[in-house]
Structure 1
Amino acid sequence: MIRVLVVDDEALVRSGLRMILETAGDIVVAGEARDGAEAVGAVARLAPHVVLMDVRMPGVDGLTAAARVLAAPDAPRLVMLTTFDLDEYVHEALRLGAVGFLLKDTPPRDLIAAVRTVAAGQAMLSPSVTKRLISAFVDRAPSRADQARARLAALTGREEDVIRAVARGLSNAEIARELRLSEATVKAHLSRVLAKLGLANRVQAAILVHDADL
């Protein structure tokens, strides 16, 4: 049997979850808690396999309680429940170590499947949450400018001066005059820059600087 702890500040929600879960046959609700503080104590006392934890509760909220529960040895599998499909909750819950994140309007069949899934050691997210996570990942993927700047961050200040000048189309002699260096020193700096960045020539260096919008 899969032992589940249900944590929610609303008695009606707890009762509803209990009724749904106990129709499964292989799931038993080992206990209930009304807030995060009760949840932490109940986990230690009842040793559930899975905890269904509401995010928003008075006093100790679900994320705070999740951090405490998941920090303990032999922590149960934790699924966050919420009516609010907000990205910051998803990201924080997953960062803490939650293995599931479901909306409270998840159909009963899907709720039971989620409990079975996480009890078996896998992760479970509601389809709408999964879609938003993927969108957030795409939106936050490094742009070409970000990637170019990250590469250029490996350069020293003087090396960056040289590659910027190269991007402006200046010759070694012109760069030497502008930076008050010898032409041999400019050549040495440029050679190090190309080697550091894995570039073949001045053209690639100029393109990289333009990609970085510098």
Structure 2
Amino acid sequence: MNRQKRTEIFQRLRAENPSPTTELDYSSTFELLIAVILSAQATDVGVNKATRKLYQVANTPEAILALGVDGLKEYIKTIGLFNTKAENVIKTCRALVEKHNSIVPSTREELEALPGVGRKTANVVLNTAFGQPAMAVDTHIFRVSNRTGIAPGKTVLEVEKRLLRLVPAEFLLDAHHWLILHGRYVCTARKPRCGACVIYDLCEYKKKTEV
């Protein structure tokens, strides 16, 4: 796929959704960080349902620490892997209080040092909260990048690096959100909705469904 085609793809995605953002509910960088930690192998809808109640009673590192692991579990027990996530969230809150003055750090190294925060989680926070052109490649973005030909790669990291290199600069900040939403609602895993796709004629997928 050439640069001209990639540019046209992102122009169309931007025209369809000029201000894309995460579907996780949050009102602070800290709330976003916790929501992203909880979202691993879980749906945004499920996470939002849990955090809606949690954040009413505890939406700072100190407040969640005060709940303790068992108290936190009561709020997030509907989310997959909630036992491990509760442990990690408490540890992360403790690290934020003790090492960062309760403020979410803005560098990849500091974010990835927090318990339960991997590269993808750090990328979401860097992009969404701090406006950095990071690319959080999840299953949707990995699929869309490979299927369309925008940035094919065999591993998540390979796709991430190719996207950062190949997506035209003017689209880099929002590309992550456009691709994830496109994968979630249009270019779905089992049967892509090619008839509803704004980039149908630009996509290089060879097994397109009927328009």
Which range, TM-score by smaller chain? under 0.3
TM-score, normalised to structure 1, is 0.21
TM-score, normalised to structure 2, is 0.21
In terms of fraction of residues, the more strand-rich structure is 1
> Greater relative contact order (Cα 8 A, min sep 6): structure 1 or 2?
2
Higher helix share goes to which structure? 2
